[in-house]
Structure formats: C-alpha cells, structure tokens
Amino acid sequence: MLSDIVVLDLTRALAGPHAAMMLGDLGARVIKVESLTGDDTRGWGPPFVGEPGDEESTYFLSCNRNKESVTADLKSDAGKDLLTRLVRQADVLLENFRPGVLARLGFSEERLHELNPRLVICAITGFGHDGPEGGRAGYDQIAQGEAGLMSITGPSPDEPTKVGVPIGDLLAGMNAAYGVVAALHERNTTGRGRVVRTSLLASIVGVHAFQGTRWTVAGEVPRGMGNHHPSIAPYGLFRTAGSPVQIAVGSEGLWARFAPLIGLDADAAPYATNPDRVRRRTDLTALIEERFAAEGAEAWLARLAEAGVPAGKVRTLDDVYTWDQTLSQGLLIDVDHASLGTVQLPGPALRFDDNPYAGARETHLAPPRLGQHNESVAAWLDAREADDE
C-alpha cells in the first residue's frame, strides 16, 4: 500500500522505530540512518542471540523489521552530505531528537522543506516540542508516571505500577504512523509536505479514555485498584481452586446469565444493578471467589462459555505464541536474518483481504545489521540522482 513511499528513519530506541516499522509493514521502503555505533537498542540486553562477539539484541529485533540500515556521523561533512541526498529522494523523515537538535545539525524543518518541499516530517518528543517542559528527555517509564498512567495502574493507590511494555513509546509510534499517513494523503492535494508532531505525554493522555473524563467531567481522581474495572462489576480477575480466570459481565443481560452460576438471583438485592454491584464490589468479589474455590479454572471457563459469559485465562507469552488462535491470525512471521538465519518475530497487527496473514507485504525483511545497506543505498542514490539530471 505504501510501496511508492521512501521513509528516512533517524530515530532511536522505540517510539520512532516502531512508527517506521509500521510504515514498513505497509510496504514503504524504510532506510534507517544510524550513528556509527548504531541505535541504542542494539546494546539493550540481555537477552542477546547469535555467536559470542557478534550478538544481536532481541530488543532491537522487536522494532526494526522491514528496514535497511545505513550509518552516518551527522556532525561530519560526509554524514551531512548523505542525509541531504537522502532527504531529496525521500517522502517521509522521522526523528525523535530533543527539540532543536536536528536544527543545530543544519537540518531545521525549514531547511528540510527547502531541500524537499514534498517531505512529510514527523517529530516525536517526550513531552512536546514546546511549552515550559518541552525540552525534557522522553523515557517511557518517566512519561508513564508524569502522564498519570502509573497512578491508575497497580494493586492499590499506594503502589503505582508501570505497564509491562513501554506503552508510551508504542502509542507515540502508532500516533506518529497515523499522522504520517494522513499527511501523505493531504500531500496528494496540496503537493507539499507538512510537519507532524506527537509525544509520549500526548499519546498517554490521549488514551486516558473514561479515566480522563472521570476527572474532567465528574471531578473524581482515579487511582489504581488492581485487576478490577472501576465502573463495571463483576469485571476482572478472580481466583479459583486452580489458576485465576477473568470475567467481563459488561451488561445486565450478562449479569442475568452469570448470577445463577454463583447461586444468586440476578434481580434480587443487593446486586440487582451495575451501580449496586460497583458500590458493593468488595463483597461481591469475595462471594464470587468463595464459589469459584470449589473448582479449577478449566471447569469454570467451560461453565462460563456454556452460559455465554465472556471469560478467559491469563496466558504467559510462551503460551500466547503457541496458541492456535494467535497462529491463525498471522501474528508470527519468519524472516531471514543476515547473521542469525531464519528467526521468528511477532508480526504486524493489520490484516488485509488480499494477503490476510502477512499485513500489507508479501514478504518481510529481517531487522538489519548495522550498516548492512550502506553500499546498496549509495548505489540507489546514485541511480536516482542520475535520473533526475
């Protein structure tokens, strides 16, 4: 779908690389411009895989599929010349430097658009490109705390907890890709690129959802309350005689199906309505777990399924990646890595009707070795520039 688009990925770590990878998954040619020592994530581990002294970071492998790698020192004349040539041939430039850094290197937004008026520039920052704290470094866990996410996550208000993946980075990457595609669409009409901006702060605040309106509209300050929903009950994690199960009784109709399973009359006090159940959540949870203690998770999941009550188990990642349903959705892909051979990666989340198991590409590229494509990209630039003469 984006096979006619060339993306320059000047980003490091996760937010920008994730955005560029999403564009690559849609078919764009992504050229990752790395420092001479490479993206920071090449050294993030363990775990590492490969031969001693020639290892690859599994962190780097997670966010750099469908890219080519070239190396450049952007402070040197040669590095500036390479980037200038790439900018003239590109459609998109992604960067996540601190505000002002790229300009100090000689590539302000104005200069980039002088070189290529059609260029879509996407800048990802930690807390925004302006404002009183616009220059702060953007690290995911700090952003999770500053943007309020940790305050509503965890077992109690006294134990703020981060999400198990760098969710601020990932959301910022998704927003960046979304904004870039919109800007490319606009360019079809205007003939000019524009600057797209997002940040970890904006991306986390942007998914506060009902927790945000609890404060902005109702004046309530949400706090962490473990594995239960603040506005629906019963909805959450419940212990059984074996492993826990999750149930989602998200409507009165589902409550009518669930209540008899634990020996309750769905229409009787004190749990007849969802507000009643939310107010008495502690007592209701204790009652459910008392009844669930009679049998293990599999027995309860079978009973809940028969009654039509949404429920599920809590899987570990090894279980997820061997689950038939995961495999049926094309969520694992095999790629041929330059030094590791064939490796299996989590795949793209989008499916399209003409290629339902591999996103928008017929084949996927393995994450590149550092500088793997220096020569091939240089040859491509020479050919493009010759055509332009």
Question: What pLDDT shows up at residue 356?
Answer: 63
- Which strands form 245-248's sheet, in the order they lie side by side? 235-238, 245-248, 311-312
> Any idea where the domains of the chain sit in the sequence?
6-207+325-388, 235-314
Q: What is the pLDDT of residue 53?
A: 86
Helix, coil or strand: residue 170: helix
Average pLDDT, the chain: 95
- pLDDT of 359 reads 64
What is the per-residue pLDDT across 57-105, written as a single tens digit (0 to 9) for each?
999 999 999 999 999 999 999 999 999 999 999 999 999 999 999 999 9
Q: Is the pLDDT of residue 268 over 80?
A: yes
Q: Compute the distance between CA of residue 163 and CA of residue 23 in angstroms, rounded to an integer.
A: 25
Tell the CATH superfamily of the 235-314 domain.
formyl-coa transferase, domain 3 (3.30.1540.10)
Within 8 A by CB and 6+ apart from 145, the residues are 151, 160, 162
Confidence band for 351, pLDDT divided at 50, 70 and 90: confident
Q: Which single residue is written with the structure tokens 């002294």?
A: 53
pTM for this predicted structure: 0.93
Q: Is 4 part of the annotated catalytic residue set?
A: no
Cβ neighbours of residue 33 closer than 8 Å, sequence gap 6 or more: 8, 9, 10, 70, 71, 72, 74, 82, 83, 86
How is residue 102 written in tokens? 């790229």
**pLDDT in the model for residue 362:** 80
> Could you please report the per-residue DSSP string of 37-86?
T--GGGG--S-EESSTTS-EEHHHHHT--S-EEEE--TTSHHHHHHHHHH
CA nearest to 223, candidates 136, 271, 307, 154:
154
User: What's the pLDDT score for residue 358?
Assistant: 61
Residues 255-282 have a mean pLDDT of: 96
Catalytic residue among 9, 169, 276, 387: 169
Under the banding of pLDDT at 50, 70 and 90, the label for residue 388 is confident
Model pLDDT for residues 207-239, shown as the tens digit of each residue: 999 999 999 999 999 999 999 999 999 999 999
For 195-213, write each residue's pLDDT tens digit. Answer: 999 999 999 999 999 999 9
Residue 298, pLDDT > 80, answer: yes
Domains 6-207+325-388 and 235-314 share a fold: no
Torsion of CA 105, 123, 7, 349, to 10 degrees: 150
CATH number of 6-207+325-388: 3.40.50.10540
